[in-house]
Homo-oligomer: A and B are copies of this chain.
Amino acid sequence: MLLVKVGGGRVDKSVIAREVKAIGMEMVFVHGANVMRNVLSRELGQPTEYITSPSGVISTYTNQRALEILIMAYSLANVQWVAAFLRSGVRAVGLSGADGSMWIGNHKKYIVKVEAGKEILVTDTFTGKVTSVNHELLRLLIDQGYLPVITQPAITADGILINTDNDLNVAKMAAALQVTELVILFGAPGFLMNVTDPKSVVSRIAKGQIDELLPRAEGTMKKKLMGAKLAFELGVKRIYWGDARVKNPIQSALEGSGTVVE
């Protein structure tokens, strides 16, 4: 089984849907929708706010309204992905992490942000971390030939919807489904040492190097590394980071044209 995650940038859904059909393996598909979320946020007069944690990790600030906007944008993307898969002959079923309590997480009731050198406590935040994955629902669908197409939000055991990190969730899902290889596609040719320089791609990373790269990595690349770190801790053997915008993104990543972490 292959676990594929595609980031929330501008990608051609039809290209990836056709490739998934051509590969023809059992798969679980996870996607983001950051760009659509940002557009909708602006249209609704509440542009996405970013906050920086004391350890330098940048996250989006998700209050109740921002969570609703996020759910709307991610759900629309989810339905569009499902339609693209169906057009390619893949029997896709869209799910959010809340469905059947698939992604159960902890609600981080407050977060600390750093602004102008000061640490500020932020409440009214609906983010958290997924702690367990209901693989039963996934197995049920996969065994009947359906492709689960999954996106935010997750949900707490008390039924509170929360925004979580897809890179970490994919690691958790890999463990729950006993998948040992991950394909993670995004809008860059692979892991970039310098996020603004596409030529700074690192083609191979040994899992032992993750800890030393972490403090030097920036933005979304830092998140990728944190996801990879968790994935290896949970039993994943190899992660393929690749470009979502090329002709055969999954195959290209599997052939090592991006970054292979192992």
Contact A71 B75, beta carbon cutoff 8 Å:
yes
Contact A83 B43, beta carbon cutoff 8 Å:
no
Name the residue of chain B whose CB is nearest to the CB of A80.
B161
Whether A155 sits at the interface, judged by CB under 8 Å, is yes
Q: A93-B95, A137-B93, A161-B79 are in contact. Are A146 and B86 (CB under 8 A)?
A: no
Whether A73 sits at the interface, judged by CB under 8 Å, is yes
Number of A residues contacting the other chain (C-beta, 8 Å)? Answer: 39
Whether A91 sits at the interface, judged by CB under 8 Å, is yes
Whether A101 sits at the interface, judged by CB under 8 Å, is yes
Interfacial chain B residues near A208, Cβ < 8 Å: none
Q: A44-B44, A137-B146, A140-B144 are in contact. Are A79 and B91 (CB under 8 A)?
A: no
Contact A79 B83, beta carbon cutoff 8 Å:
no
Whether A192 sits at the interface, judged by CB under 8 Å, is no
Whether A78 sits at the interface, judged by CB under 8 Å, is yes
Tell me which residues from 200 to 247 in chain A have a Cβ below 8 Å from any Cβ of chain B. none
Interfacial chain B residues near A98, Cβ < 8 Å: 79, 82-83, 86, 94
Contact A101 B86, beta carbon cutoff 8 Å:
yes
Tell me which residues from 140 to 160 in chain A have a Cβ below 8 Å from any Cβ of chain B. 140-141, 144, 146, 153, 155, 158-160
Whether A72 sits at the interface, judged by CB under 8 Å, is yes
Interfacial chain B residues near A71, Cβ < 8 Å: 75-76, 79
Tell me which residues from 89 to 107 in chain A have a Cβ below 8 Å from any Cβ of chain B. 91-96, 98-101
Contact B75 A76, beta carbon cutoff 8 Å:
yes
Contact B86 A155, beta carbon cutoff 8 Å:
yes
Bound together, the chains give a CA A94 to CA B79 distance in angstroms of 12
Binding site for B on A (CB under 8 A): 40, 43-44, 68, 71-73, 75-76, 78-80, 82-84, 86-87, 91-96, 98-101, 136-137, 140-141, 144, 146, 153, 155, 158-161
Could you list 8 A-B pairs, sorted by A, with CB under 8 Å? A72-B73, A72-B75, A75-B79, A79-B161, A83-B159, A83-B160, A86-B98, A86-B159
Q: Top 7 closest A-B pairs, CB basis?
A: A75-B75, A87-B159, A72-B72, A93-B99, A93-B100, A86-B159, A72-B76
